Structures are given as structure tokens and as C-alpha cells.
Amino acid sequence: MRLIPNLKGKANALVCGASRGIGLALCKALLARDDVGRLWAISRSAKSDGELAILAQEQGERLVLMDCDARDERALAAMAAELGRTCDHLHLVVSTLGILHQEGAKAEKSLAQLDLASLQASFATNAYAPILLLKHLLPLLRKAPATFAALSARVGSIGDNHLGGWYSYRASKAALNQLLHTASIELRRLNPSATVLALHPGTTDTALSRPFQGNVQAGKLFEPAFAAQRILEQVERLGPFDSGGFWAWDGRPIEW
């Protein structure tokens, strides 16, 4: 199946949050495909990152590494302007931006552990950065077809929240879902062939989940390569008709 249905040529793809975890696995999976022409891989230190630098040596001009802190709107604007000089149409953008317990964010167990710094850090990376990424890349998403997918998390579902805890992470992912849904309505007018997706990758063995893997049932912890493959299957499967929805790695919709 083609990555972007109805696309005759090769896809231009971009992964923001590309240096490790699911983002790095997505880069490898995209580069392994014949229907991907060029890939832009972004993280704060993409150019000096070991694994991305090795991939770039192998891939030559097919892989472009860009450094950008996605919490900094001026950096996002500069990155988008630089990208726009060599590309006028992105067919797929995947935001894997996210923090749970890093950089001031806390995986709170109780209200007593909640503080402003954790809320602000979580919202900055998990909600504000992905939607501002979409804002600045919008000129490159105006032609048909185009998909913007952001990795959300099932714990961002209010309807599915029976356990509590993780205030900052849950709330920032719920905010991300609302921002993406709102953007999908605007994009439907600007480009009826555009698709905006909130995707849950499943619990995956990365730096983000590592401190919490003790509670994961045997066989339920995915390798990043597996999660990346299942995310790309959803990108292949879901089109403009599904835009604005919240979907899990297995293709099932998740309640808000």
C-alpha cells in the first residue's frame, strides 16, 4: 500500500522529534520505503545526533537534518522558511514531540505533586509545539494530498481516564487533541484533501516510558520499530474523511 493514497510520485515527509524513540524509528521506516522521496528529520540537535548523522551519511540528499527547538516559535518559523526554499509540498508530517517526566515535566501521582512548572513544561512540548509546527508548515500543506499526524496518547482521553494521575501529561495531550481537531476543520476548507490525525502509538520502549514500564503487562510493550510500522499503517489507511479523529495504533478510534 502507498504511504499517501492517490499520490502518484514519491512523498516528501517530515518527522519532528526525530532523534530517538518512535521518531527515529519512523525515520528509518520511511527511508526504507520506495514511495518516500525525501525526508526532513528535526530535533533540537539533529545534525550532531549519532544515529541521525549515520543515516544522513547513508542516504545523502534524501535525508535532510535540521536543528530546531519546537517550543520556540521563532525557531519554528525559521525552520519552515528554510524548508520552503527547497520544498513546496509536504505530503506527510509526523510530530512525535512529547515529554512525560523530563525537562520540568512530572508524572504526578497526586494533586500535591502538581505544580505550575510541570504544567507549563508539558503543555509547551506536548500541545503548543505540535500545533505551532502545523501553523508554520501550513504553506507546505496546502496542496493535495497532505497528512499531518501528531502522536498523542490514550491517557489524553477524558472518557478513558479511570485511573487518574499524570495530570500534566494527560491534560496537555487532551489539549493537543482539541487543537488538532480544531485545525482539521480549518484545513478541510483550505485543502479538502488534507488529513489531520491524533495517533496513539501504544506503550513503547523509549526514554519517555522507561521509568513506568514496570506496570506494563508482559507482551504489551512495543519496540519502537513496531510502533513506527503501525503508525505508518494508520497514515496509509486514514484519509480526509477521517480527519480530526483520534486513533490507536491498531486502527481503533479512541473516545475523547
Ligand X SMILES: NC(=O)c1ccc[n+]([C@@H]2O[C@H](COP(=O)([O-])OP(=O)(O)OC[C@H]3O[C@@H](n4cnc5c(N)ncnc54)[C@H](OP(=O)(O)O)[C@@H]3O)[C@@H](O)[C@H]2O)c1
Cβ nearer to ligand X, comparing 193 with 203: 203
Closest CB 175 distance from ligand X, rounded Å: 13
Contact between 108 and 115 under an 8 Å Cβ cutoff? The reply is no
Closest CB 101 distance from ligand X, rounded Å: 10
Cβ nearer to ligand X, comparing 87 with 221: 221
Cβ nearer to ligand X, comparing 7 with 15: 15
Q: What residue spans of 60-196 are helical by DSSP H?
A: 73-84, 116-123, 129-137, 167-190
As a three-state string, the secondary structure of 210-247 is HHHHHHCCCCCCECHHHHHHHHHHHHHHCCHHHCCEEE
Cβ nearer to ligand X, comparing 7 with 148: 148
Closest CB 143 distance from ligand X, rounded Å: 25
Closest CB 243 distance from ligand X, rounded Å: 19
Cβ nearer to ligand X, comparing 138 with 208: 208
Contact between 127 and 174 under an 8 Å Cβ cutoff? The reply is no
Cβ nearer to ligand X, comparing 201 with 240: 201
SS3 42: strand
Which residues lie closer than 8 Å to 136 by C-beta, 6 or more apart? 73, 76, 77, 79, 80
Closest CB 131 distance from ligand X, rounded Å: 13
Closest CB 54 distance from ligand X, rounded Å: 15
Which residues lie closer than 8 Å to 75 by C-beta, 6 or more apart? 68, 69
Q: What residue spans of 62-163 are helical by DSSP H?
A: 73-84, 116-123, 129-137
CA distance 181 to 62: 32
Residue 73 is placed in which grid cell? Answer: 516559535
Cβ nearer to ligand X, comparing 107 with 140: 107
Closest CB 69 distance from ligand X, rounded Å: 5
Our CA dihedral for 223, 25, 43, 119, rounded to 10 degrees, sits at: -30
Residues that bind ligand X (CB under 6 A): 17-23, 43-45, 69-71, 96-98, 125, 129, 151, 153, 200-201, 203-204, 206-209
